[in-house]
Amino acid sequence: MFKKLFGSLTGDNKPENQNYEAQSTNNDNQTDYEDTYQEVEYDPETLHGTHYSVEDFDNEVAERAEAWIADERASGENLDEKDIQNIYFNYRRAVYTEWNNCDSDQMIRFEHANSLKYTGVQTSGFVKVEDNNPFLEPVHGVDLRTYTAMCLKISAGIDYLEVCRAMGLEPAVWEELNTIWPQRMGEDTSFTVTTLFGQYYAENVTVPQLENLNAEVSEEGAANLERMKTDRYFYEELAGARQAAYEYGIDGAQWILDNFGINLADFQSVAMQWMTEQNQNWNSEDIIRFSDYQQEKQKEYAAKFAAEQGGNVADDVNF
Amino acid sequence: MEEKKVNSFLDKLKEKAKSQSHYGGDSEITEAKMQLKDCPNCGAGRAKQDGLTHCAYCGFEFLSVKLTDGVYIKKEDNSL
Amino acid sequence: MFGLFNKKQKQHQEALPEWHSELGESQQRWFTFLEKLEAKMEEFAAAAIPELKQLLQEDDDLYKRTFHRVYSGVNGQIQNIRNKARDTYEEKIIDVYHYYSSQISVLSPYHNLVSDFRNVCSDRYNDFEDKSEYWRNEIEKTQERDLEIEYQKILSEFEAVKNKFNCTQCGGGLTIDRIFLIETYISCPYCKTQNTFSPSTQARNLQNIARNLAEQRTAHLKKDFEVENSKERELYHQIHELELSKIHQSDKKILSEIQSKIADLEEQRQSAIQNAPKLHQHYLRAMYDEWNKITPDLKEHNEKMYQNQLRYL
């Protein structure tokens, strides 16, 4: 499950982040890279331009969407809920791009920032939590943050019994937590529980009870982990290598631990960090560049694993 | 010749898969069991009516959380 | 297989441009290349499938991790072969097509030879992809286990242990009244002492197989839905064919026959559109009922999942 959840994630890089922050708060940098754009100031929370009100925006979208819907219906089209959502979705994009005179990356950042409001689904990096969300009620007194901290320790290789002991819980209680929290992730269609779990995971959260419980990490492993957090290319290389390992019948998580000294919890945590940053600072050029790099590295490692197994079965077939 | 390549690849794949250690260790196969946890402080047993969280005699804390309604454990299982 | 080029060669024997034979050669190489890849894929998959089945039987790891590693490695090779075909297609067919397509004027009587080259090669490539998909599915099937057997083992184990335990405090008999999915507390009916019960590894696994078992049991209903669901497109294409056949038809009697056939098919199509979601819902309800029967302790959660799924039907 984790392989699926984290395997395809790509993130974003630091310089981009700075660029974005500047752009979303005071716009100083914007004209530097795109001089055809007007000076637009964005609200840091909603990413709406500050030269109009959110209400005006929503009204404009509704007006255009409803006109189109009425038109479609008049010409005999049968529109269902999904069609209507799509129509709104498209007009939201159109109006946003028009009113802010922005590129598609800015528009996607705006969509991420408002995904809960407009589509009912959370996006990593923009999680909004209402008070009294029943899905976030603690289970047996353990809140989601603490539950995530326990999961992190266990994925890092610490025996769950030790984690229980440190938390003052008997295994029967842990097993209930580990049933109910995943159930809530499944039940919550806004993905608040899942996204928040991912956010805590990315933050590598801990609680005082667990602070002294640490998986053994070699000096080399610690250095590699630090590099993976700061050097996006290194992260992409390891992600590509891990993927290639699976394709050659090797447990990628174990392979990363054996060769780079990084455990699964740390690996996934960094993967989530890059993904969160990527969502917040959406930049399609960077995304493509990193994804290409990962594929290139995956190929390199695949060639290495293939050589260890005497080549691929179809190596002798040529055009 | 052709046949050999395919088979040797599969053999190596199997061999490698079998010799690798599993991330997180081998899974343990265990039988069902029933255990008892007496109070490590005063040795008293834990009775249903006294709840699960604290020892009824010396107050020792078995569970340092407040139980809610879960899968099998219910909030009534908190000690008073 | 190379009929297209042979035929064309006869037609334009003298006037054919030089590049034509080059394209012909490329096409021939492409066909041979894919044939070899297909043979390799078949040979590999045919050897791997019985091995995988055996591995699944032998793997005593709870999560069948050895099996899954080999399974993943086998799929990796199939993917490697597919990638090889895709890369070669891009380089040797599509790039060549674009080159000639830009060199030869659309007004040239031979321009269509270039697009014919592309079409024939791409049709052949699609056949290759279909075969790859077939093998991928066959390999996927090796994961299937008869879950009824596993379920029966869990049930008989439960029968064997449910009255086996005594209270660790007073020795009174304890009854395990259901298949517990996780560790829990059981209080003694005599001395009220809280005992901790840990289900066996096998019993815990019930939670993991329950949904798949329910799906296995209701697979026929899913099939009914899928058949109904695919009717709409099939009927649409049949109607479309009939609409086209009207164009060159002047006989009024035949035209009216076609028209009534179209009306009939359209009626069937509308009924399929109406029925498919009903069958889908029917399947889901039956599957969840079955699931709840297997793990009643998860019913409350499953029902929420069911309601969510209905909303997105």
Q: Are residues C167 and C89 in the same domain?
A: no
Q: What is the pLDDT of residues C90-121, one digit of tens each?
A: 999 999 999 998 888 888 888 888 999 999 99
- In angstroms, how far is the first alpha carbon of chain C from the final one? 45
Residue of A154, A136, A153 lying closest to A144 (CA atoms):
A136
C74 touches chain B (CB under 8 A): yes
Are residues B71 and C192, on separate chains, in Cβ contact within 8 Å?
no
Show Cβ contacts of residue C165 under 8 Å, excluding neighbours closer than 6 positions.
B32, B34, C173, C174, C176, C195, C197
Q: Are residues C251 and C269 in the same domain?
A: yes
Size of interface B-C (CB pairs under 8 A): 106
Give the gap in angstroms from C-alpha B9 to the nearest C-alpha of chain C: 9
- Residues of chain A whose beta carbon is less than 8 angstroms from a beta carbon of chain C are 170-172, 175-176, 179, 183, 186-187, 189, 246-251, 302, 306, 312-314, 317-319
Q: Are residues C230 and C273 in the same domain?
A: yes
For residues A175 and C183, the answer to whether their CB atoms sit within 8 Å is yes
Q: What is the pLDDT of residues C285-302, one digit of tens each?
A: 999 999 999 999 999 999
Q: Of all helices (H) and strands (E), which one includes residue C25?
A: helix C19-58
Residues of A in Cβ contact (< 8 Å) with B17: 249
Tell me the DSSP string of A48-81. -BTTS-HHHHHHHHHHHHHHHHHHHHHTT----H
C191 touches chain B (CB under 8 A): yes
From the candidates B23, B52, B69, B77, which should be mutated to test the interface with A, based on the most A CB atoms within 10 A? B23
CATH number at residue C127: 1.20.58
Report whether pLDDT(A260) > 50.
yes
Decide which of C103, C121, C144 is a domain's last residue. C144
Which residue does chain C place closest to A182, by CA atoms? C301
Give the gap in angstroms from C-alpha A221 to the nearest C-alpha of chain C: 25
Helix (H, G, I), strand (E, B) or coil at C194: strand
Q: HSE, CB side, 13 Å, CA atoms: give it for residue A203.
A: 15
Q: Are residues C114 and C217 in the same domain?
A: no
Out of A176, A249, A314, whose CB is closest to C40? Answer: A314
> Residue C119 corresponds to which tokens in the numbers above?
């079409």
In this prediction, residue C28 carries a pLDDT of 96
For residues A248 and A290, the answer to whether their CB atoms sit within 8 Å is no
Domain that holds residue C294: 210-311
Q: How confident is the model at residue A38 (pLDDT cuts 50, 70, 90)?
A: low
Q: Are residues C133 and C262 in the same domain?
A: no
> Residue C87 corresponds to which tokens in the numbers above?
């890369």
Listed by start position, the domains of chain A span: 2-11+216-308, 41-100+103-119, 134-210
> Residue A97 corresponds to which tokens in the numbers above?
């791009």
From the candidates C33, C187, C301, which should be mutated to test the interface with A, based on the most A CB atoms within 10 A? C301
Q: Are residues C74 and C169 in the same domain?
A: no
How far is Cα C66 from Cα A250, in angstroms, rounded to an integer? 10
Q: Is A146 exposed, middle or buried (0-12, 13-18, 19+ CB in 10 A)?
A: buried
Decide which of C144, C175, C190 is a domain's last residue. C144
For residues C86 and C97, the answer to whether their CB atoms sit within 8 Å is no
C65 touches chain B (CB under 8 A): yes
Size of interface A-B (CB pairs under 8 A): 73
For residues C145 and C67, the answer to whether their CB atoms sit within 8 Å is no
Provide the number of structural domains found in chain C.
3
> Residue A20 corresponds to which tokens in the numbers above?
């974005």
Q: What is the pLDDT of residues A69-106, one digit of tens each?
A: 999 999 888 888 889 999 999 999 999 999 999 999 99
User: What size, in residues, is chain A?
Assistant: 319
Q: Are residues C249 and C224 in the same domain?
A: yes
Q: What is the pLDDT of residues A265-310, one digit of tens each?
A: 999 999 999 999 999 999 999 999 999 999 999 999 999 999 998 8
Decide which of C128, C144, C160 is a domain's last residue. C144
Looking at chain C, the whole-number percentage of residues with pLDDT higher than 90 is 83
Q: How confident is the model at residue C15 (pLDDT cuts 50, 70, 90)?
A: low
